[in-house]
Structure 1
Amino acid sequence: MEQEKIGKFIATLRKEKNMTQMELANRIQVSDRTISKWERGRGLPELSLLVPLCEVLEISVNELLSGERLSKEVYQEHLEENILNTIEYSEKKIKRNVRGYQLVLGVILVIIVGIGMMFGIDIHRMRNNEPVVFSTWGYSYVPPIDLHEEYIDIAIKEYILDQEEKSDEKWFTAFRTYLIEEKQRHQKYILYCVVVEESYSYEEEVILESASIIPYQFIVEVIDEEYTVTSARHPRDGSLYTEDMKVLFPSYVHEEIDQMFVDGTVPRLQLEIQEQVKLYYHTFQ
C-alpha cells in the first residue's frame, strides 16, 4: 500500500474538516503523534482503527486504502487490490508480533467480509435498485458458535434481502441479534433479533418513505452444506403481540427487547442506517 499517498489523503481530509491532529486523535483514541506519523507516510493505521477513522473522515475503507476518493466506476477495481494489500500488510505485522496472530487474523476477516459484503454484493444490489442489509451488532449467545456465526449472519442477511420487493425505493436494514442458541451442533440454530428497516426515495432530496421495527425469531439450518433460514416468525400486531412474544422469545430476551426503545438499541440501529444512507446517496447519486 502507498503509505505516503494514504497519509497525504488523511491530512487533506482532516484539514477539510478544520480539525487539528489532536482533535482527530481524540476522536479515534490515539495520540497526535500517531496521526502525524500516518500523515507523513511513516506508518498506517492499525486494522482495528480503519473503520473508526473512516467514520470520522466520512469515507469508505476502500477509499482510505486507495488514498483518494473513488467514483462508482473505479470503486470495484480498487476493492480486490486493497483487500490483498491489507492481507499482505497484516502478514508482515504477524511476523513481527506472533502473539497478535489470532487477533490480526480476526480483524482481517472482519475487514474482508465487511468490505466484500458491503461493497461487492451490495454495490451490485444498489446499482440494480435492490434492498441492502448493512449491519448487525450485539451478539450474545450460548454456547459459543465460533466462526459459524459469520455464515449464520450471512444467511439472515440473504433472507431479509430476498423478502424485499424491487421498487423505486431503496431499502436499508440493520439488526441486533440478542441471542443465538445452538440446537444441533453446527447444524441448527435459533436466533432472536430486532430488525429495523427503512426505505428511501430521492427526488432532489432524500425522503424517508417508510420504516418498521420488528422482533424476529429466525431458525437457521445447514442444508447441503448451506446455511439457510428455514423459519422466520415475528409477533402479530395488536392484542396478540404480548402473547406471541412470550411464545417466540425466552423470557429474559423478551425483557431485553421490551427495552429496545430506551436502552439505545433502536437509536443505534437507526443511526447505522443513516450512515449507510449518507454513504449510498453520496456515492451513487
Structure 2
Amino acid sequence: MDLIKVGRFISELRKEKRLTQEQLGEKIGVTNKTISRWETGTYMPPADALLIMSELFSVNINEILSGKRLQPEEYKEAAEENLKQTIRISSFTLKDKIDFYKKKWLKEHIALMIFGGLLVIGILVAGLVVKNSLLGYISIVLLLIFHAIRNNRMMAYVEQNAYDGTGNINV
C-alpha cells in the first residue's frame, strides 16, 4: 500500500467534489491538518474515515487503498493485496488488545484486589494467632475464590471491550 499514492487519490477525489481540506475534515470529523497528513501520505486514514470517504466520493474502499479507480478485472487482485497489507500494518493484534484491556481492568480494580488480599491475610493471621487451622483453610479457600472471581470478571471485561459480541475484533 503506497501511502503517497493513496494520499494523492484522496486529494483528487476531494478536488473533484470541490471541497477544501477543511470542508472534508468537517464531514469526517477531523481537522484540515489531518486531511493534509493523509493527502501527503504521512498517515493512513482510519477505517471509519475510509468508510465515510467511500460513500462521499462514490468509490469503494479498495479503490482508496489502491490509490486509483479500479477496473472490474483489477478489483479481486487489489482487494486481496489491500487486505494483506492492512493485516501486516495493523497496529493492534488481538493479543495486544487483550493485554491492554487486562492492564486497564487491573488498574481500575487495584483497590478492590488489595482489600481482598488484606482480608485473606487478616483471616490467615487470626488463624495463626488463635491456633485455629480451620481459619487457615478458610483463608486459602477465600484466596482461590477471590482469584477465580477476579479472573472471571477481568476476562468478561476484556471480552466485552476487545470483541463486538459476534467474535469479531473491534477496530
- Shorter chain as denominator, the TM-score bin is 0.5 to 0.7
CA 1:101–1:53 in structure 2 vs 1: closer, same or farther (change >3 Å)? farther
Counterparts of residues 128-147 of structure 1 (less than 5 Å): 146-147=165-166
CA 1:10–1:102 in structure 2 vs 1: closer, same or farther (change >3 Å)? farther
Cα-to-partner distance string for 1:133-164 (whole Å, 9 max, x where unaligned): xxxxxxxxxxxx92269xxxxxxxxxxxxxxx
Cα-to-partner distance string for 1:187-230 (whole Å, 9 max, x where unaligned): xxxxxxxxxxxxxxxxxxxxxxxxxxxxxxxxxxxxxxxxxxxx
Matched, 1:88 2:88: yes
Distance in 2, matches of 1:101 and 1:45, equals 25
Q: Which runs of 4+ in 1 moved over 3 A?
A: 98-103
Pick the structure with more helix per residue.
2
Distance in 1, matches of 2:48 and 2:26, equals 16
Counterpart in the other structure of 2:14? 14
AA matched with 1:75: Y
Counterpart in the other structure of 2:65? 65
Counterpart in the other structure of 2:43? 43
Cα-to-partner distance string for 1:240-274 (whole Å, 9 max, x where unaligned): xxxxxxxxxxxxxxxxxxxxxxxxxxxxxxxxxxx
Q: Per-residue deviation at 1:47? A: 2.0
AA matched with 1:60: N
RMSD after superposition = 2.6
Counterpart in the other structure of 1:182? none
Counterpart in the other structure of 1:31? 31
Counterparts of residues 171-182 of structure 1 (less than 5 Å): none
Contact preservation (8 Å) 1:66, 1:82: yes
State TM-score, norm by structure 1. Answer: 0.34
Relative contact order, higher structure (CA 8 A, sep 6+): 2
CA 1:24–1:102 in structure 2 vs 1: closer, same or farther (change >3 Å)? farther
AA matched with 2:165: D
Matched, 1:2 2:2: yes
AA matched with 1:7: G
CA 1:23–1:77 in structure 2 vs 1: closer, same or farther (change >3 Å)? same
The structure with more radius of gyration: 2
AA matched with 2:40: R
Distance in 1, matches of 2:18 and 2:54, equals 16
AA matched with 1:89: I
Task: Name the SS of the counterpart of 2:19 in structure 1.
Answer: coil
Contact preservation (8 Å) 1:94, 1:101: no
State TM-score, norm by structure 2. Answer: 0.55
Q: Per-residue deviation at 1:76? A: 0.8
Distance in 1, matches of 2:97 and 2:63, equals 30
Q: Per-residue deviation at 1:99? A: 5.4
Contact preservation (8 Å) 1:94, 1:100: no
Q: Per-residue deviation at 1:48? A: 2.5
Distance in 2, matches of 1:59 and 1:82, equals 15
Percent of pairs with identical residues: 38
Q: Per-residue deviation at 1:18? A: 0.6
AA matched with 2:92: I
* Unpaired runs of at least 5, structure 2: 102-163
* Unpaired runs of at least 5, structure 1: 104-144, 150-285
CA 1:81–1:26 in structure 2 vs 1: closer, same or farther (change >3 Å)? same
Cα-to-partner distance string for 1:17-64 (whole Å, 9 max, x where unaligned): 110000100111011000000111111101222111211121100101
Task: Name the SS of the counterpart of 1:94 in structure 2.
Answer: coil
